[in-house]
Amino acid sequence: MRLLALVTLLIEVALWIGLAILGLTWSWFGALLAFVVVIVLWATFMSPKGRWRLPPWPRAIIGLGLCLVVGVRLLDTGWPRYGLSLILGGIVLGLGELVLKDIRSVPRDVTSTRHPYNL
């Protein structure tokens, strides 16, 4: 499961970079603005520790939809390998959002750890 969580994180980062690349078609300010807006919205609604985290199905649909839209747009703007990778990664991201457990629902071990030399 940790490998799947790492892969979904890398796909999310690739999505953010893809949005910044698309923003460069407007200007450097557009790239920066697209990057910052998406990261703030993603951190609020999609991240595991987000303040208003969405349920799994909407997260999966939004993640898959964004990856598809950005991937197709990257294909159109001359980034075919990156666009195709992002489209395929979007499928993994969508399935990963459905499979991975919510971090808040996983029980935590609250027992204190002892020092190995009992110091």
Q: Which domain holds residue 94?
A: 2-99
Longest Cα–Cα distance of the chain, Å, equals: 63
Q: SS3 breakdown of the chain: % helix, strand, coil, rounded to 5?
A: 70, 0, 30
What confidence tens digit (pLDDT) does each residue in 23-71 have? 887 788 877 887 888 888 888 888 877 788 888 899 889 889 999 999 9
Is residue 113, in this structure, part of any structural domain at all? no
Per-residue pLDDT at 81 exceeds 90: yes
User: Whole-number mean pLDDT of the chain?
Assistant: 83
Is residue 104, in this structure, part of any structural domain at all? no
The total of structural domains in the chain comes to 1
Amino acid at site 82: Y
Is residue 36, in this structure, part of any structural domain at all? yes
Q: What is the pLDDT of residue 112?
A: 63
Is residue 107, in this structure, part of any structural domain at all? no
Is residue 53, in this structure, part of any structural domain at all? yes
Is residue 117, in this structure, part of any structural domain at all? no
Is residue 86, in this structure, part of any structural domain at all? yes
